[in-house]
Amino acid sequence: NAGVTQTPKFQVLKTGQSMTLQCAQDMNHEYMSWYRQDPGMGLRLIHYSVGAGITDQGEVPNGYNVSRSTTEDFPLRLLSAAPSQTSVYFCASSLQRQGRAKNIQYFGAGTRLSVL
């Protein structure tokens, strides 16, 4: 059971370039999300999805696009990278069934992105 898999682990981009951060989970989780982590800022929610075909914005969505065509995959797209998007990105997933206290959120290993 692989859990949550993120690719790539590291990426360097030039300002204005585009790229897609991949996230896949094999636990049949309805809920998936993307966070960014900057020094001293904790984890900030970028976008999330409660199921295939459903996405919504989190706390810091500007500059990022997402889609959820399958339960397993939740890619994060940077259309025109900016230095302010230099960060560590984490994908996470969990069950979304209501009333379940043990809906644990599982995180990927992260993607370290530098935008020059």
Partner 1 sequence: DAKTTQPPSMDCAEGRAANLPCNHSTISGNEYVYWYRQIHSQGPQYIIHGLKNNETNEMASLIITEDRKSSTLILPHATLRDTAVYYCIVRVVAGGYQKVTFGIGTKLQVIP
Write the CB contacts of 98 (distance below 8 Å, at least 6 apart in sequence).
Answer: none
Nearest to 71 by CA among 29, 105, 113: 29
Q: Judged by CB, which is closer to partner 1: 17, or 107?
A: 107
| Contact predicate 60/74, CB 8 Å | no
Q: Judged by CB, which is closer to partner 1: 15, or 100?
A: 100
Nearest to 38 by CA among 116, 94, 110, 104: 110
Write the CB contacts of 39 (distance below 8 Å, at least 6 apart in sequence).
Answer: none
CA dist 115 to 59, 81, 94, Å? 21, 7, 30
Q: Judged by CB, which is closer to partner 1: 17, or 65?
A: 65
Residue 81 half-sphere exposure toward CB, CA atoms < 13 A: 20
Residues between 77 and 106 that touch partner 1 (CB under 8 A): 88, 90, 92, 94, 96, 98-106
| 108 touches partner 1 by CB under 8 A | yes
Residues between 43 and 82 that touch partner 1 (CB under 8 A): 43, 45, 48, 50, 56, 58
| 109 touches partner 1 by CB under 8 A | yes
| 34 touches partner 1 by CB under 8 A | no
Q: Judged by CB, which is closer to partner 1: 48, or 74?
A: 48
Which residues would be at the binding site for partner 1 (CB under 8 A)? Answer: 4, 31, 33, 35, 40-43, 45, 48, 50, 56, 58, 88, 90, 92, 94, 96, 98-110, 112
